[in-house]
Structure formats: C-alpha cells, structure tokens
Amino acid sequence: MKKPNLTVVNNPWQELRQFTDARIALGRSGVSLPTSAQLAFQLAHARARDAVHLRLDVKALTNSLRDADPDVHCIVVSSAAGNRDTYLQRPDLGRRLNAASRTMLLELHQSHPPHESYDLSIVIADGLSALAIAQNAQPFLDALMAKLAPDNLSLAPLTIVQQGRVAIGDEVGEIFNAKMVVILIGERPGLSSPDSMGLYLTWAPRVGLTDESRNCISNVRPAGLSYEEAAVKLHYLLTQALRRQLSGILLKDETGAAAGLTPPPERNFLLEKR
C-alpha cells in the first residue's frame, strides 16, 4: 500500500505573505491546508469571537483618559440594549440611548447656560470589539487632541457608551447641541484584525440620520492605519466640515491630494491628452 504524502508543499507566492495579513499562499498538504495554517485560522476565529463578547472595562478606560488629561469630563451611559445578547440581536436598540442615560445627558446639558452649544462632541462606544477601544482609544485621542489644540474648539463632555452602535453618536451630539460629533467605535472583527477601531464624523448630528451623512475612517490600530495618520485625516475632515457645514457623501478626504499623493482631476489617466 502506498503511503500518503505528508509533506507540505509551499506555495510559490509564499514570500508575498510578508506584505499582508491576508491568508494567501498557505501551501498544501495533499489536497488540504497544512495543519499550521488550519490551527492559525481557528485561533484567529477564536480571537474574533472573544473580541465580540468582551466587556468594555469602563473604569480602566476612564482612568486612562483622566491620567492623560486630569481636566477631561467623562460621562458613562448605556444604549437601550440591556446586555450583550440583546445588543447582538437588536442593532436598533444599540443605536439609541436608554431612558435613564438620555435623561442624565439632558439634565447635564440643561444645567449649563441656556442654549450652550459645542463645536464638537466626542463619543466612545464599545461596538463589536471592546478590545479595539481598550487598546486604541486613548493613544488615538492623544494624537487627535494635539491636532485640535490650535483650533480652540469647544468640546462637549467626553461620553462613553456601553453596548453602542455608530448611530448612537448622533443622539449624544444632538442632546449636547454640538455642531459635529465623532464616535470612536470597535469594528466588527475580521480574522486577522480583532482590534480594529473605526471613526465616524457627522455634521449637525440628530436622531434618524443614515450612513450617507457620515464620514468613516476605518482600521485604526498599530497594524493598520496609524494613530497619527488617522488624526491627520480626521482633523482635515473636521476642519472642512466646520467650514462647509456638511459631512458624509458631500465631504471627501482630500488629504492625499494635498500631500501630492494623488494626481489632480485634470491628470486622469483615462482621458486622452489634447
């Protein structure tokens, strides 16, 4: 009887794996994946599941934020999704504050001088990866605040939302009568990125807006978009949103063009030279 060939056959493109976390050029053992690749896949899947179900350590996050800036005013609220299971099955509840949280924010805002408004409200939400927020929120805010310092914007109290989805930032911004809201949120984990944080900007936030009203900067983490690069892009969008009074599909990230990284429209390679 002929013995099976247990030798792993390397893929000729294997050297390209140094440039990406994507599962390419894994090789084969017979007609199957090599054991090491199969185990790596299972480990990545387990890490993604853990990230989805991990509870945000709010105390550790607020302590970290206050250590970085003793004057920061942090408020912790919750969405209408009472627990993680409900959050995962009812996205609509994750987009709205629960009654107690909404009342608390309204009373807080009404305790300030009448008609007080803010330029910017910053919201942090666990989303689908509390791990992403735990690892990336503080260092990113450090980079962003350094960019915002010369602008002298008025900031609403920093709000941390448990069991929150992207749209809940609009409700917080509306309550604070903020011109703009930015929400930092844990993204849905991929099989090589359980720690990816997303940023969403909305001009004139209010309940009921949809994704076309928001600008998104994705994959903010050490292995993705660096904190400094993300802060530069968000600062550009904030500046332009404030100047043009719009966001979403009407506002484009042109930081690459400003740095000379993309050709101007008149140099479109699809157009023939005349």
Long-range pairs of 38-41 with CB within 8 A, sequence gap ≥ 24: 41/191
| Contact (CB, 8 A) for 43 and 149 | no
Annotated ligand binding at 216? The verdict is yes
Distance CA 81, CA 186 (A): 16
What does the block give as tokens for 211?
Answer: 């994704």
Output DSSP code: residue 105.
H
Instruction: Give the DSSP H/E element, type plus range, for residue 218.
Output: strand 214-220
Phi, psi dihedrals of residue 48, rounded to the nearest 5°: -65, -40
- Cβ-in-10-Å burial (0-12, 13-18, 19+) of 264 comes to exposed
Q: Which residues pair with 181 in a beta bridge?
A: 121, 202
187: Cβ contacts below 8 Å, ≥ 6 apart: 127, 128, 129, 132, 193, 196, 197, 198, 218, 219
Q: Where are the beta strands (DSSP E) in 61-213?
A: 74-78, 118-125, 158-162, 178-186, 197-203
The response to whether 229 counts as a known ligand-binding position is: no
> Which residues are annotated binding-site positions?
166, 187, 216
> Which residues are annotated binding-site positions for adenosylcob(III)alamin?
166, 187, 216
